Amino acid sequence: MDNNVLSINNDVLAKMAGMAALECDGVAALSKFPAPVNKMVTGKFTRSVKVETENGLVNLEVYITVKSDRNVREIAENVQNKVKENIQNMTGTALNRVNVVVADVELAEDDA
């Protein structure tokens, strides 16, 4: 019987999710999620990706900024798929849910 246990820190999952989101066409940047002052965390990815684990299920919420000249729904779906695929392939961890929040739109220089 194998008693080895693999444990992956939530910050690592957040970083993996953030990197996967940034690989998607149309994503301009990661955005910060709103957090109460007493729950502020540090780090580029942990401010942009919420990771919740409950009863062995992993739920992610990824906050992104999209480019203004792109289809927002398509971008969000691509981010969901890419994040889920990357984390499952890299860790073997099945994700219960990947929510994508479009928190901002990056204006093209012509629009600014």
Distance CA 88, CA 66 (A): 24
Q: Which residues 6+ apart lie within 8 Å of 95 measured at CB?
A: 58, 59, 60, 83, 84, 87, 88
Q: Can you tell me which residue has the tokens 């093209």?
A: 108
Is residue 112 domain-resident?
no
We report the CATH number of the domain holding residue 80 as: 3.30.70.1350
Residue 4 lies in a domain: no
**What is the domain count for the chain?**
1
Q: 2-50 pLDDT, tens per residue?
A: 677 778 899 999 999 999 999 999 999 999 876 554 444 455 555 899 9
pLDDT band at 94 (very low <50, low <70, confident <90, very high): confident
Contact 61, 33 (CB under 8 A): yes
93 Rama class: left (phi>0) / alpha (psi -120 to 50) / beta:
beta
Note down the domain range covering 38. Answer: 10-106
